[in-house]
Every structure is written in structure tokens, then in C-alpha cells.
Amino acid sequence: MGEHMNALADVLGRGGHRLLLAFPRERSWFSQARDHGAEVIELPSIENPLRSGFRAEIDRVVAERSVDLLHAHFSYALPVALAFRSPRQWLGRQPRLPMVYHWHNPPKALQAQGVRAFPGGTLQTAIARWGDRVIDRHVAVSSEIAELLVSHRWTVRTKVTHLPNGLGRKPADPVPFRAQPSPLVIGTVANFREQKDHATLLKAMALVVEDGVDVQLRLVGDGATRPEMEALAANLGIQSRVEFLGSSTDPAPILRSLDVFVLSTHFEGNPLALLEAMSHGLPIIATDVASVRDVLSSPSLGRRVPPRDPGALAEAIRELVANPDARRSLAEAAWTHSRSLLSVEDWAVRMMDLFESTAEGVHRTPTSGSSVAADVPK
């Protein structure tokens, strides 16, 4: 997030604009964002935008800092709350603020329903359409999200832009290939929450270890389900084979210690961890969900296995342990493909173009020195 905001501040600054970041609380990378020219303010009301007074706070920030466009993230309650017009708007004294809404994950209300199962007339659809009244552009980080929004009629196709996340620093060289490592080191980078399904990965590891395969698992990340996963590793008898490494601001050294990268997620927006693994030239095994197929678009780029299936995941791990040539082929294909992946700078340029075209389409083009506010809760 910090790398994306730094790049956005740089690009907007070169274009004569300003970036205002509104967060509910301080983050570790705010000082870097300020060094890149962004202004950062605390706005606790973002955590509960449906409460009384949120609309007035947004109006105050917009007026005080001459904001031309609002870029909202994560909580769909933001546009829902802003869809209620302020008194100044009812009186015609305040023009409507252009808004871009950013979808980092599929809408929770639609994840279990499938792209073609349109739930006509549901409460979620009604709420979504209410929020869509004030959204000028939806940014979807995956093609799956874009299709869900349109197929379920939460918005119209002409308002949706598919823009995946960008990669920050791309390594100059791939991870050195080890044909016969002992042990073979498997790893993942993922927050510990139900979505990431560390349980399936641990159960797959137990099956592989049972077969006498010499493997080690390194888990980067932290979160609510970590204690449960530590207990599961102990119950499975593989605690000596699993390293819980906690959060890392720079996972690159750990990635470069791996032989295989695995992602056992239930769903994703745009799996940045996979992109980073590819940029290091790691062979990949990941669950066969829509957003992963966006990244592993060909079998040559990685093995895809059914989600929530420890047996299938274990079989894919066994194959790559037993077949160094297959690992080498996947690694080389991932490395080559990663050279063409979108960078955070490319992402920021496309975002600025989107901001400018959106603001121009609503009322006017932002003038030199204008502000773009990006509020990112949670």
C-alpha cells in the first residue's frame, strides 16, 4: 500500500496535482508518503462512515483542502453514506464531488453466488445501487470483480475499469535454482485470516511429511488465525517442519530462501503475493480461483489446484519435489513473465489518467495545484 501511495504522490505531483490521504489511524509508512509530497490526515470517522456526522466531516475536508475528486477504498459504506446528499447540495450550493471507488476484493455479498447467479431484488443489490449513484468509476483489481459487479447489476460496464496492482522493486536476478535441496523449502506470504486458508496448506504439508518427503514450510504474516494455525501444526505433528515468521515489511529475503511458493487462498482480489513470487522467479502452486487464473493464465506459469483440497495440494508439492525439471521450467516461465508485469509507477500513471478523465467528465478538469483525496480505511 505504501509503495502504491508513494508512486501515486510522485506522479500526481509531476502532473501539478496534490494527494491527500485520509486514514483512521497512523500507519508506519506515512512518513515516506509525506516525503513523496502527500498530505496525510487522521479521519477516525472512516471506520464507521454510516454514523451521524460522517458526511459533514467529508464536506469539511473537501472544502478546507479544495478537493476535486475522492478516491475511496475498502468499505462500501463510504459511497453508501455519501449517496445521502448534504444540505448544501440540496440547496445547490455545492457541486457533486467526483468519486472513484476501488475494489480490492470481490464483494462479500457476491462471492458465494457466482458470476451468473443474479440475486435480483436483494437488499445487498439495492444498497449497492444506492452507493453507485455517487460513483463515477469503479476500479477492479481483477477481471472477476469487474464481471461480478456488472453481472449482478451493481453498476454498468462503462463505469468499470480493470486495473491490477503494480509491482514495486523487481529483482535484478531470479532466485538461484537448487536442483536437489535438502530440505526443499516451501513458503507463502499471507495475512492469517480465514480467506487465506493456511489450514489446507498445513494439512497438505502433513500428508507430504507422512510420505517421508524432506520439506520445510515458512509462513510470513500475522493475524487473527495464527494461534489456531500454530495449534494445528502441533496437532498434525509437523511443528518442527513449520516456521511462523510473523509480519515483514520486506519479505524479499525470505522469498529468496524458498524453492516453491504456495498460495492456498479461498479467494483474492489481485494476488500481489503471487506477482512478487513470480518477480523472484519462484515456481508456484496456487488454488484455482478466478483471480489466480488472471495471474497464472497458463499452466506453464504455475500449478493450479482446487481450493480447500489438502490432497490435491499435497500431490502438486510431491510432483515438484520429485521433478526438478518441472520446477526449473515453472521458475523460468515465472521470471520471464514477471518482466512484463505492471510496475507501481505504471499503475500510478494510469490512476492519474483515470482521475483526470473522471473529474473532467463530471464537471471540470483539475487545475494545477488541485487535490485528489484517497481515503483508505482499516
Band (365; pLDDT cuts 50, 70, 90):
very low
Determine which of 145-149, 203-207, 256-260 has the lowest per-residue pLDDT on average.
145-149
For residue 378, pLDDT over 60 is answered with: no
Asked if 115 and 106 count as a contact pair (C-beta separation under 8 A), the reply is no
**Hey, do 2-166+343-375 and 184-338 end up sharing a CATH topology, with the first three levels equal?**
yes
| Domain positions in the chain | 2-166+343-375, 184-338
What amino acid occupies position 10?
Answer: D
Average pLDDT (78-100) is 73
Which one is predicted more confidently, 26 or 208? 208
Residue 180: alpha-carbon gap to chain centroid: 34
pLDDT at 160: 96
Name the average pLDDT for the chain. Answer: 87
Instruction: Count CB neighbours of 317 within 10 A.
Output: 26
Does 184-338 carry CATH code 3.40.50.2000? Answer: yes
For residue 335, pLDDT over 60 is answered with: yes
User: In residues, how long is the chain?
Assistant: 378
Asked if 62 and 85 count as a contact pair (C-beta separation under 8 A), the reply is no
Distance between CA atoms of residues 270 and 273, nearest Å: 9
In 185-323, which residue ranges form alpha helices assigned H by DSSP? 198-210, 226-235, 252-255, 272-279, 290-295, 310-322
Residue 270: alpha-carbon gap to chain centroid: 5
Element spanning 261, H or E: strand 260-263
> pLDDT tens digits for 207-255?
999 999 999 999 999 999 999 999 999 999 999 999 999 988 788 999 9
pLDDT at 363: 53
Q: Which CATH number fits domain 2-166+343-375: 3.40.720.10, 1.10.150.110, 3.40.50.2000, 3.20.20.70?
A: 3.40.50.2000
| DSSP letter, residue 194 | G
Please name every residue paired with 22 in a beta bridge, in sequence order, or none if there are none. Answer: 41, 375
Strand 67-73 to 39-42 pairing: unpaired
Distance between CA atoms of residues 319 and 305, nearest Å: 12
For residue 15, pLDDT over 60 is answered with: yes
Non-local CB neighbours of 127 within 8 Å, separated by 6+ positions: 76, 80
| DSSP letter, residue 136 | S
Instruction: Choose from 40-54, 215-229, 257-271 the range with maximum mean pLDDT.
Output: 215-229
Distance between CA atoms of residues 226 and 177, nearest Å: 30
Please name every residue paired with 17 in a beta bridge, in sequence order, or none if there are none. Answer: 370
For residue 359, pLDDT over 80 is answered with: yes
Half-sphere exposure of 174 (CA within 13 A, CB side): 21
Nearest partner of 269 among 144, 104, 120, judged by Cα: 104
Determine which of 85-99, 178-192, 230-244, 341-355 has the lowest per-residue pLDDT on average.
85-99
Element spanning 79, H or E: helix 77-82
